[in-house]
Chain A
Amino acid sequence: MSDMMNDEPLLRVSEITKLYGNRIGCQNVDFELWPGEVLAVVGESGSGKSTLLNCLSTRLEPTSGMIEYRMRDGVFRNLYKLTEAERRLLMRTDWGFVHQNPADGLRLAVSAGANVGERLMAVGQRHYGQIRDTATDWLERVEIAADRIDDNPRAFSGGMRQRLQIARNLVTHPRLIFMDEPTGGLDVSVQARLLDMLRRLVADLGLAVIIVTHDLAVARLLSHRIVVMRHGNVIETGLTDQVLDDPREPYTQLLVSSILQV
């Protein structure tokens, strides 16, 4: 999908607030996301980053505020004004969602090939051979050997499952991917390989990504811009290198220093 309108943002987030009763999930969040841009949302658990991710990905309706997405036809749409059919189509074509636990994003009852091919079939592809060729190609792009195509993901390691989940999301050439702690459950050595692969794919495909992580090293490696959250509020935002090298807020300084100590 060529994006002819790179002079406009892909996502516009205005004054998003989510309250749980009188408890704050997140409040007054404002930002724009541009095509091909990787935005990391960092913070400790309870900072509101997961609430924000759920609001952005249409999983949790905000209490107030507006989220607009520039659809493939170039028109901005309020995400919470989409019909259920439009919303579901968006989620399985122009968007992806990578869960921390691959089991939440895969169908463990069917083969790796069927997992990758599902979105293609959902949008009407009806040629088995072509679906299989595309699935093979995507498996290779996430470094899964083509001869594993008929294997069940239950037989895969954690790292392979996570790469399969990524391939399954990318097969329809989405423009925006949400990631929720995508390296969270993995061993350190496996994490490094996955991060390398993610960085390469994101650059090659020009993907916009919103990645939620508590791990500043992940944010540093993958993201262009960073949003630091605490108690439901965005306390600092800016270019990732600038924020991490020279944090203004005391809380961010604390976060950065604690990672440096590890």
Chain B
Amino acid sequence: MTSSVRTVEAAPDQSTESQYNFAYLDEQTKRMIRRAILKGIAIPGYQVPFASREMPMPYGWGTGGVQVTAAILGQEDTLKVIDQGSDDTTNAVSIRSFFEKTAGVKTTTATADASIIQTRHRIPEASLREDQIIVFQVPIPEPLRFLEPRETETRTMHALKEYGLMHVKLYEDIARNGRIATTYAYPVEVNDRYVMDPSPTPKFDNPKIDEMAALQLYGAGREKRIYAIPPFTKVKSLDFDDHPFEVQKFERPCGLCGAANVYLDEVILDDKGGRMFVCSDTDYCEERREAGHLGDMAADPAAVSLTTSTAGQDAS
């Protein structure tokens, strides 16, 4: 903290939280990040370098996404934060309380009520709207790095649209596994131009980012890159003619709410091998149950305890 910020803290009617600028970052830093975001929106899928700041949390916690959210957040916004589809994991709870504390904005777990959704590892099942923004926390933004570690070379490849190497990666996947076994961070081509890593979301979510109504912003803190997909942009998952892209399929619907065609997590119920598959998007599952949809495990005592414990869970 600089001394000038401490004077603000000393004002009598300020709570201790107001030692921070709104949403923690100073206005100059936010402007710099907004410029990077605007450039990213203008060139869909292109990785824009930015002067990433230290945040009061470890890099692995999504500091890139946090900085993007801090730069776009307004006082009227309502923020939702999810990790692995859940609002209640430690990472999600910490980031949500960080913004409650530093920006005093409203937060929510309901996808429909959020104006900004910050996420790691999932995209909500409910379709997002034009008046919403989704912010992704990205660990490694460069999809070509797997086969080409040299930064100068990957930059040239992007500039010249030389993306054969992405298919070498997929070729290798099929040669080893008999099919494209990549399930996370599945590479996409954005707007017929830049190949992009959609961050460690499951490929199940790739179709959602194609022609999505909401603005998508991606922030990589450690790697100092921001990229974006504007609303209603074509996003194509890379594949081969004879091995077309396909999403994961689940054999049965969610055990709690009966939803089909959603991404499911396996949950262990007891130490006797009891298990069930439930929506990874906890908000979606709860809303369906409230609306009266019940899965085949909904009445199981172990499953019931699971829903009540997650609903009431706090940061651990």
A residues 60-93 touching B (CB-CB < 8 Å): 84-85, 88
Contact A110 B240 (CB under 8 A): no
Of B69-77, B171-179, B205-213, which binds chain A? B171-179
Q: Number of A residues contacting the other chain (C-beta, 8 Å)?
A: 23
In the complex, what residues of B have CB within 8 A of residue A111's CB?
172, 175-176
Residues of chain A within 8 A (CB-CB) of B160 are: 84-85, 88
B 143-200 contacts with A by CB, 8 A: 147, 156, 160, 162, 164-165, 167-168, 171-172, 174-176
Chain A residues with CB under 8 A of B176: 111, 150
In the complex, which residues of chain B have a beta carbon less than 8 angstroms from the beta carbon of A131?
171
The answer on a CB contact under 8 Å between B242 and A128 is yes
Q: Inside 8 A of B164's CB, which chain A residues have their CB?
A: 118-119, 121-123
The reply to whether A150 and B175 contact each other, CB–CB distance below 8 Å, is yes
- CB neighbours (8 Å) of A118 from chain B are 164-165, 168
- Decide yes or no: A113 and B171 within 8 Å by CB, A84-B160, A85-B160, A107-B147 being known contacts: yes
Complex Cα gap A150–B168 (Å): 13
Give the residue of B162, B174, B239, B242 whose beta carbon is less than 8 angstroms from that of A88: B162
A128 touches B147 (CB 8 A): no
Residues on B with beta carbons closer than 8 Å to the beta carbon of A122? 162, 164-165
Q: Does A23 contact B (CB under 8 A)?
A: no
Listed residue (A84, A110, A113, A117) with the most chain B CB atoms within 10 angstroms of its CB: A110
Contact B168 A114 (CB under 8 A): yes
Enumerate chain A interface residues (CB-CB to B < 8 A).
84-85, 88, 107, 109-111, 113-114, 117-119, 121-123, 126-129, 131-132, 149-150
Q: What 8 pairs between A and B have smallest CB-CB spacing? A: A122-B164, A121-B167, A128-B240, A121-B164, A127-B241, A85-B160, A110-B172, A114-B172
Residues of B bordering A, CB below 8 Å? 147, 156, 160, 162, 164-165, 167-168, 171-172, 174-176, 239-243
